[in-house]
Amino acid sequence: MLEKVYEELALKRMQLRQRFEEWAERGRIERFASGWRSFAPEPVHEPCAGVDGSFNCCQYRSAVLYAVNACACVHAGGKLTEHPRAEVDLLPPAFAKEILELRMARMELQCALDAAEEVELVMLDGSLHSALSAPRNWWRFIPVRRAEELAEQVERDGLHLHGTESDEERLLLEYIAYLQTLQELLERAGVEKLVCISKSSTESTLLKGVPDQAVYEALSTSPGYSRPREKLLHHRFPVHEQLFRSIVFTTFYARLEPGRAVLRVELPREADEAELRRLLRMLSSMCVEGYPYLLRKAHARVVVTKGDMAMVSAAVGITERTGREVLG
């Protein structure tokens, strides 16, 4: 057995040494320390809103029963108020998950619109850049003229299905409605009010295969933020393409309290470090355990559990889940 080991070693010795040196170099995160700025923000109190959404569903053979929920939690004038929205309905099974993701995202934007006039800052959970960068190749298979007709239909009638659309066209209608709501939010609320915050991110620009968030977590336990980066969108869009492709997204990582998690922060605009510091002062004013309280509260308000869906199903009167469902 030992002879075989030596044979393998002779064949792979140089390769193993090279890989070891590469891995050791990858592990030296200290070389990224210059990209982290220590900064303990003094809280600045401004009216703010935190927005989140959720959905869940019951899958049947002939239909999908779903519930979508979203809420904007607002703190303004010393008072805490809410702008909730919800929808319960049935969908055909085709593309149900994709449609529900779009409906939830659109409902979050609608809640943000509901709250925007009351506040100086609207916090959205997640990343607009990631949402807009997600592959949507299916809409390109729809003829350009038909896509234009569907866009005009949404502009004229809102999200209203006539019953003659194909599965792909139904999905495109949902996507167009989402994009139009986002366009309305950007124009009515203004990009200066919007910030996206993510608890977790797989973005990896520093060490191959290692999330940037993990690198900054390991570099320091003190409050601060990373050097900002700018990103553009290069995808095609069925509507408002010029608008979306003109947005410069500013992204950075930040820790708001000592020893707490590093968050990914994204702004749909160009921003210098003075603006980033002002934003961090605002975020720190509503921070609980290193995370904005209003986002935490919004998340708690919108979660749709399996138990919730069981009650919805029972209320509708669906008594079987085997594909031979019976309506009471």
Cα dist from 106 to 85, 113, 266, whole Å? 11, 11, 19
Residue type for position 233: L
pLDDT recorded at residue 13: 74
Q: Which 8-state DSSP code applies to residue 220? A: -
Cα dist from 291 to 9, 246, 260, 285, whole Å? 50, 30, 8, 10
Residue pair 93/63 in contact by the 8 Å Cβ criterion: yes
The partner residues of 87 in beta bridges, in order of sequence, read 68
Q: What is the DSSP string of 21-57?
A: HHHHHHT-GGGGGGGEEE--PPP----EEEEEEEEEE
pLDDT recorded at residue 246: 95
Q: 259-284, pLDDT tens digit by residue?
A: 999 999 999 999 999 999 999 999 99
pLDDT recorded at residue 140: 66
Measure the CA–CA gap between 37 and 31, rounded to whole angstroms.
Answer: 14
- Calculated CA dihedral for residues 291, 125, 128, 259, nearest 10 degrees: 20
Does position 328 have pLDDT exceeding 50, yes or no?
no
pLDDT, average across residues 289-309: 95
pLDDT band at 236 (very low <50, low <70, confident <90, very high): confident
pLDDT, average across residues 288-310: 95
Structure tokens at 148: 């234009």
Q: 6-49, pLDDT tens digit by residue?
A: 677 677 777 766 765 565 455 577 788 888 999 998 999 999 99
Number of C-beta neighbours around residue 47 at 10 A: 16
Classify burial at 117, counting beta carbons within 10 Å of its beta carbon; exposed 0-12, middle 13-18, buried 19 or more: exposed
pLDDT, average across residues 242-254: 95
> Higher confidence at residue 163 or residue 324?
163
Residue 236 backbone phi and psi in degrees, to 5 = -85, 150
> Higher confidence at residue 4 or residue 42?
42
Taking alpha carbons only, the member of 136, 123, 183, 127 closest to residue 155 is: 183
Fold that domain 50-316 belongs to in CATH: archaeoglobus fulgidus dsm 4304 fold (3.30.2170)
> Is the pTM value of this prediction over 0.75?
yes
Residue pair 30/104 in contact by the 8 Å Cβ criterion: no
3 state SS of 247: coil
Does position 325 have pLDDT exceeding 50, yes or no?
no
Residue pair 101/134 in contact by the 8 Å Cβ criterion: no
- Which range is most confident: 127-141, 165-179, 233-247? 233-247
Structure tokens at 104: 């939830």
Does position 297 have pLDDT exceeding 90, yes or no?
yes
3 state SS of 148: helix
- Calculated CA dihedral for residues 115, 118, 122, 125, nearest 10 degrees: -30
> Higher confidence at residue 305 or residue 158?
305
Does position 100 have pLDDT exceeding 80, yes or no?
yes
Q: 125-147, pLDDT tens digit by residue?
A: 999 999 998 766 666 667 777 77
Residue pair 173/159 in contact by the 8 Å Cβ criterion: yes
> Higher confidence at residue 143 or residue 247?
247
